Structure 1
Amino acid sequence: RSRVEHAQHLLPKDILRFYHDDVIASMQPAHLYDDAAWAHKRVEDDILQGTYAFQSLLKCHATLTFGSDWNVASLDPLMGIYTAVTRRTRDGKNPDGWYANEKISVEDALRCYTINAAYAGFQEDKLGSLETGKLADFVVLSKDLRVIDPEDILNTKVVRTVVDGKDVYVN
């Protein structure tokens, strides 16, 4: 499987190629939080139209996966989910979201961090979802991200982390 890492800034005409060429688009949504402040100065306007094209990639049935790229951006996947869902930026200049048409649902963001990430890493047979025969790796959160206001995502805490069926963190 091939993937393009840091697929953040794409020409809109190239978005469909990810599906047709069966290439995984790998992004770090937490980068969006900072990029809006400088991207218009460094990235050409036609490419900005395809910046962090989460929704466009999903609509054309491309495989989209998320990661952290730590220590360049936040390691916290909750920050990445928040940013992918709201497209809010650090400078506060985009209250409705930077290129808001590219927002995705919490469910889509969760898939990008879980089963899609496992697929991109050739590990979908043991990671990415809770199924018989797979490792029991999961977190328990203080709030259900699927039902809370997206603004509350950053106030959500990890209360338990399980790796291979064993508690490794309990708060």
Structure 2
Amino acid sequence: MTSVQEQVEQFLFHEVALLDHRDWDTWLELYADDATYSIPQGDPDHARKVSIVFDDKRRLVERVIRLKSGFAYSQEPSSITVHLVGNVMVVKADEASIQVASSLMVTEVRRGRQTVYAALVSHTLRPSGDSFLIAGKEIRLANSEVPLGNLTFIV
């Protein structure tokens, strides 16, 4: 029998594998209808500060549609990404949700240039059948306060 820790780790590994394989439709299915996905710039006060990304599920669907359409000119050619998730910790768990903290390294290769992003990530997961749905994901980039260039792929 696998522990909640192991289930959460496997879920997070699955999520980033979907992104690296550009299986965005399956990736979207991991998100609850009321989910939020954010990349704050510095302090994550979305009411008072500008965020790099602050999306709901509808906006995530729009991003995926644009990436798949061929009209995402900022992704021509498409980025090749490799996500590495580590230091996964279940911070709090109850019947309704699980709070998870992890570290993330994303390597992006595009137009002969390699860029590495490092982040601390918080997930709020809801149990759903034998898996989870993502109710919230916040990506705190280590370098969010400096110019980031073309961050148009999905972190």
TM-score normalised according to structure 2 size: 0.25
Q: Which structure has greater helix proportion?
A: 1
* Larger of the two Rg values belongs to structure: 1
* TM-score between both structures, scaled by the size of structure 1: 0.23
Q: Which has the higher contact order (CA 8 A, sep 6+)?
A: 2
